Amino acid sequence: MTELEAKIDPWLRHMTWRRDYERWRERRINQEQYQDERLAQLVRVAHLPGLQLLDLGAGMGGFAVAAALQGAQVVACDYNPAYCEIIALRAARHHLAFPIYNVAGEALPFQAQCFDVVVSWDVIEHVRSPMQMLAEIARVLRPGGYALLTAINRRAWVDPHYHLPGINWLPRPWAERLIERQGRSKQHTGFQDMQRLSEMHYFHYQQFVALAAQYGFKTYDLREALLCEGRLPSARRSRRIARRLLRTIGLEHLAYRLQRRWYMGMFELALYKP
């Protein structure tokens, strides 16, 4: 086992209930190799070589390293000091070195307007104050820049963290008891940063759009943009067929918005700072 694997493995063991655990573990260890989709989202809004990029909540560093390998000038930060060590090890195996900060997203140690793009994948649901994090992103982002981030749907049918259907339609105390009964609770891991479902911030789509607007952002749905271009991917053949039929009768866009409102697990968003 490499030093990188040894650092990562303790953070994965609470998820051994996953059916795809071995494949998921391999993707975590070699995370930088699986960033094509998110790199493509970044390329939609910016030219990578020389880009001043902040990876806010960089996690285990897969995206930060992948972007740096494409020529971006990356700064990574994460609240978890163990993740900061993992990022450094991941960068080192590609002979990369970029600044890594152990900081919270609500208090960034950077001057105003110093980044062209901020990315924050799978982060905002975990911070103490989503409002303060958005305020900080707006502060450090240059005019004309973008923040690319994900936000969890409060109505997500299959919860992205616990992989259980229907729990977001239950009162939170009931949902947490179900999580416990299914053996998927993260409270017994010994890690202090593992949150209960009730401690995380989930959003309705228009609620998040309105929140971002308070900090001067215009919000764009990245997946909806792909849909409009006829390039929205789907791994399931049945869904591709259904989409073609809906497109034929002119209801594809409406169906997508209904799915986003009532079913979708995660919003993939671009926030533009005029």
Whether 256 is in a domain gets the answer no
Whether 195 is in a domain gets the answer yes
Q: Report yes or no: 145 and 273 within 8 Å, Cβ to Cβ.
A: yes
Whether 182 is in a domain gets the answer no
pLDDT at 193: 62
Coil, helix or strand at residue 102: coil
pLDDT at 76: 98
| Phi and psi torsions of 153, nearest 5° | -75, 125
pLDDT at 219: 98
What tokens were used for 161?
A: 């963290």
Model pLDDT for residues 77-132, shown as the tens digit of each residue: 999 999 999 999 999 999 999 999 999 999 999 999 999 999 999 999 999 999 99
Whether 227 is in a domain gets the answer yes
pLDDT at 239: 87
pLDDT at 1: 78
Q: Report yes or no: 104 and 127 within 8 Å, Cβ to Cβ.
A: yes
What tokens were used for 152?
A: 């969890």
Q: Report yes or no: 252 and 246 within 8 Å, Cβ to Cβ.
A: yes
pLDDT at 30: 97
CB atoms within 10 A of CB 97: 10
Query: Rounded to an integer, what distance in angstroms lies between the CA atom of residue 44 and that of residue 116?
Result: 13
Q: Confirm whether pTM is higher than 0.85.
A: yes
Whether 113 is in a domain gets the answer yes
CB atoms within 10 A of CB 224: 17
Query: What's the one-letter identity of residue 156?
Result: A
Q: Which of the residues in the chain have pLDDT under 70?
A: 188-193
Look up the domain containing 49 and give its range: 3-156+191-234+264-272
Whether 174 is in a domain gets the answer no
Number of domains, the chain: 1
Query: Rounded to an integer, what distance in angstroms lies between the CA atom of residue 245 and that of residue 72?
Result: 40
Whether 173 is in a domain gets the answer no
Whether 245 is in a domain gets the answer no
Query: Rounded to an integer, what distance in angstroms lies between the CA atom of residue 223 and that of residue 230?
Result: 10
pLDDT at 189: 62
pLDDT at 190: 60
CATH number at residue 76: 3.40.50.150
